[in-house]
Structure 1
């Protein structure tokens, strides 16, 4: 079955509290699990970067919910396309705090085709490589 992914950035609404964000993430995790979608949400306190992956119909329904959500504005899609494998197969959704500079770096990264670096050259890291590196400690922690 083909897998699709979408990465986007957005700006949190000023009235979005940490408690409300956690509730939204828990709700999204339940919905995503039913849709077969996995992913991660990075937050610097003001902005989000989210990466979701899964079957085309699941991605469509999850992304429509994202676009309609009242918790954020100024949604900018960074990439959409086919992926060969899941990066976060065990996370229906997780939110991770990051600093603003890292979120900017990821936002400006090379998301073309969700490519991964094959030669291991850290000077050539793609956005997916960097995202995976950022998230790896949380994955390893369980």
Structure 2
């Protein structure tokens, strides 16, 4: 059985690009070993992350996320059983909305935000991330 969890949180003041890089390195390695997939969006202040995989693995990772002092105010907004992964090829992809040059995704200026996500992303998940990225990318 596959499970998807999506949460939002607020980055700790002063969180550096190096610390975010460390998060991504560990996440990609650990997720690959546990066959978890996902997407992390960040705007310099807030995060939105989706995790997919076996329920017990997703729950274990989310428990560690809740204890991580690099962010606070973690709110789970989705927790659902799924039949198909939205991010099957991404151990953990990353996009920084306030600086599109930072991250693992390649985006051209003025590309629609939904072009970041796989074309068969479930509509409700696409809507969540599109709203988050659009709103956050407009923040000065």
**Aligned mates of 1:3, 1:39 — CA distance in 2:** 13
1:24 paired residue number: 23
Tell me the distance in 2 between the aligned counterparts of 1:20 and 1:32. 18
CA distance in 2, matches of 1:129, 1:40: 12
Q: Structure 1: how far apart are the matches of 2:87 and 2:122?
A: 14
Moved over 3 A (4+): none
Q: How far, CA to CA, are the matches of 1:129 and 1:93 in structure 2?
A: 16
1:129 aligns with 2:122: no
Cα-to-partner distance string for 1:26-73 (whole Å, 9 max, x where unaligned): 111111112211001000110000001001121121111111111100
Mapped to 1, the partners of 2:41 and 2:66 lie a distance apart of 17
Matched residue SS, 1:6: strand
1:80 is paired with a residue whose SS is strand
How far 1:15 sits from its partner (Å)? 2.1
1:10 equivalenced with 2:9 (yes/no): yes
SS at match of 2:20: helix
- Name stretches of at least 5 consecutive residues in structure 1 with no aligned partner: 100-114, 118-125, 136-142
- What SS does the aligned partner of 1:59 have? helix
Displacement, 1:78? Answer: 0.4
Please say if residues 4 and 56 of structure 1, whose CA atoms lie closer than 8 Å, have aligned partners that are also in contact: yes
Structure 2 unaligned spans of 5+: 99-120, 134-140
SS in 2 for 1:70: coil
Partner of 1:68: 67
In the alignment, the residues of structure 2 paired with residue 68 and residue 28 of structure 1 have an alpha-carbon distance, to the nearest angstrom, of 15
Q: What's the TM-score, normalizing by structure 2?
A: 0.71
Of Structure 1 and Structure 2, the greater helix share is in 1
- Whether the 8 Å CA contact 1:35–1:62 is kept in 2: the answer is no
